[in-house]
């Protein structure tokens, strides 16, 4: 079932590694909130009104900059304009440095039932290096007040492969996350994105990124540890306790439709993908003129859909070979027989009930395997 995504393009301070669209100026914050309502109205007006959505996800940027009243207002607008299931999953990404107890109680009353905290690390020096605005203690406090507010479906984003990070330091982060009673973990390795301050630091020799072997070691440690604690790895970087897989993210990984609102938000709808203007000023300009703020779009042809299907499914639930044949009129295993046999022999792919899945070793080589299958 389709999902709704809302991009909040503000951050108190940019983190050195981040290449998501967000700005540190709040000059046009109020304009943004009003325009968001108008974009929701405009999009709803051009779509049929019989489609039911099962998730809403506020990402960014820092969605937790919204007050509970603003959050409630946007949720009310979405529910008024679209058919949203009564028990839809409603997630808000939170920076632990921007939340308080009464705000989170307000979020809960407004219908938010899942929070995703960008914690990244419980070590003070890591947080300083990543230029996060919060301390480890603030992150722990934030999780506690969320749980007190009645929101117990909680994800933590944690980051490994930081310069100088040892397995012991990484284990400490995983243990803290477990002990805080979180239900979901997203564990990503720190990647150097072009154009970020981190990329410049690496080029200037101020930061040395860990070698690939150490990244693989921490990744394997993560998979083994979390599985041992009862978390299921349902996507390469995502682990959930039973019943807590993120419904919204599954929408992406299952290649289902979603609508995005706000600057730089992407949408995929009935074979077409489009993306909004990134710059807040340009996005506001379009909405002010009564235009949908799209920057571009494309029709998803069969080859693109097939490539994305392979990539997204292999990273998550595996490729259902019967479904693949039905969608693309092709036999994936027969067409890639030699390569797939090598993967079976090498222990990177396995077959289970007509489903092609990555093994733990295969997860480390996910991109390479997907590239061959394309």
Q: Are 154 and 115 in contact (CB under 8 A)?
A: yes
Please say which residue, 21 or 234, places its beta carbon nearer to ligand SF4: 21
18 or 300, CB closer to ligand SF4? 18
Minimum gap (Å) between residue 200 Cβ and ligand SF4: 16
* Nearest distance from C-beta of residue 299 to ligand SF4, angstroms: 30
| 52-60 sheet: strands from edge to edge | 232-235, 238-240, 184-189, 154-160, 114-120, 83-94, 52-60, 3-8, 258-261, 266-269, 272-276, 294-299
Closest approach, Cβ 227 to ligand SF4, in A, equals 27
Residue 10 or 309: the one with the smaller Cβ distance to ligand SF4 is 10
Looking at the Cβ atoms of 62 and 233, the one nearer to ligand SF4 is 62
Q: Name which of 82, 155, 73, 62 is nearest 107 in CA terms.
A: 73
How far from 372 is each of 5, 122, 338, 369, CA to CA, in Å?
32, 38, 11, 5
Quick one: 13 or 302, whose CB is closer to ligand SF4? 13
Nearer to ligand SF4, 62 or 165 (CB): 62
Taking the CA atoms of residue 309, residue 312, residue 314 and residue 316 in that order, the dihedral angle to the nearest 10 degrees is -130
CB of 71 to ligand SF4, least distance (A): 17
Phi, psi for residue 125 in degrees, rounded to 5: -70, -35
Would you give the DSSP letter of residue 281?
H
B/e letters for 292-327, b = 16+ CB within 10 Å, e = fewer, are ebeeeeeebeeeeebebbbbbbbbbbbbbbeebeee
Nearer to ligand SF4, 20 or 229 (CB): 20
Angle between helices 29-45 and 68-81 (to 10 degrees): 10
Q: How far is the CB of 202 from ligand SF4 (least distance, A)?
A: 17
Question: Which one, 152 or 279, has the nearer CB to ligand SF4?
Answer: 279
Q: Alpha helix locations (H) across 149-246? A: 167-179, 197-203, 212-228
Is residue 123 classed as helix, strand or coil in its secondary structure?
coil
Alpha carbons within 13 angstroms on the beta-carbon side of residue 121 total 23
With CB atoms as reference, the residue minimizing the distance to ligand SF4 is 18
Q: 3-class DSSP state for residue 372?
A: helix
For residue 15, the minimal CB distance to ligand SF4 (Å) is 3
Min separation Cβ 114 and ligand SF4, Å = 17
Interface ranges with ligand SF4 (CB under 6 A): 11, 14-15, 18, 20, 22, 60-62, 95, 118
C-alpha span between 174 and 352 (Å, rounded): 30
Nearest-approach distance from CB 170 to ligand SF4, in angstroms: 19
């Amino acid at each position: 079932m389709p999902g709704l995504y809302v991009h909040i393009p503000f951050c108190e301070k940019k983190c050195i590694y981040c290449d998501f669209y967000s700005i540190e100026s709040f000059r046009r914050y109020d304009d943004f909130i009003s325009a968001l309502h108008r974009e929701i109205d405009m999009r709803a007006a051009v779509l049929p009104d019989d489609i039911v959505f099962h998730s809403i996800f506020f990402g960014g940027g820092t969605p937790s900059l919204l007050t509970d009243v603003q959050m409630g207002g946007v949720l009310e607008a979405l529910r008024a304009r679209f058919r949203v299931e009564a028990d839809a999953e409603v997630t808000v990404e939170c920076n632990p440095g921007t939340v308080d107890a009464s705000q989170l109680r307000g979020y809960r009353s407004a219908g938010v039932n899942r929070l995703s905290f960008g914690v990244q690390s419980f070590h003070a020096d890591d947080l300083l290096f990543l230029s996060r605005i919060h301390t480890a203690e603030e992150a722990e406090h934030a999780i506690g007040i969320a749980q007190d507010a009645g929101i117990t479906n909680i994800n933590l984003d944690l980051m490994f492969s930081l310069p100088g990070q040892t397995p012991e330091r990484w284990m400490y982060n995983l243990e803290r996350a477990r002990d805080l009673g979180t239900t979901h973990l997203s564990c990503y390795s720190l990647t150097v994105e072009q154009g970020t301050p981190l990329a410049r630091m690496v080029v200037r020799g101020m930061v040395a990124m860990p070698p690939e072997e150490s990244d693989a070691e921490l990744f394997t440690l993560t998979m083994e540890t979390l599985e041992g604690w009862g978390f299921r790895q349902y996507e390469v970087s995502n682990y959930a306790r039973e019943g807590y897989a993120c419904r919204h993210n599954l929408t992406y990984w299952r290649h289902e439709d979603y609508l995005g609102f706000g600057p730089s938000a992407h949408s995929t709808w009935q074979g077409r993908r489009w993306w909004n203007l990134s710059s807040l000023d340009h996005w506001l300009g379009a909405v002010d003129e009564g235009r949908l703020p799209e920057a571009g779009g494309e029709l998803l042809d069969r080859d693109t859909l097939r490539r994305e299907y392979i990539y997204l499914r292999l990273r998550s639930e595996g490729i259902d070979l019967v479904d693949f044949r039905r969608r693309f009129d092709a036999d994936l295993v027969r067409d890639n027989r030699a390569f797939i046999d090598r993967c079976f022999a090498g222990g990177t792919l396995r077959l289970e009930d007509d489903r092609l899945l990555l093994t733990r070793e295969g997860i480390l080589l996910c991109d390479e395997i997907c590239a061959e299958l394309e």
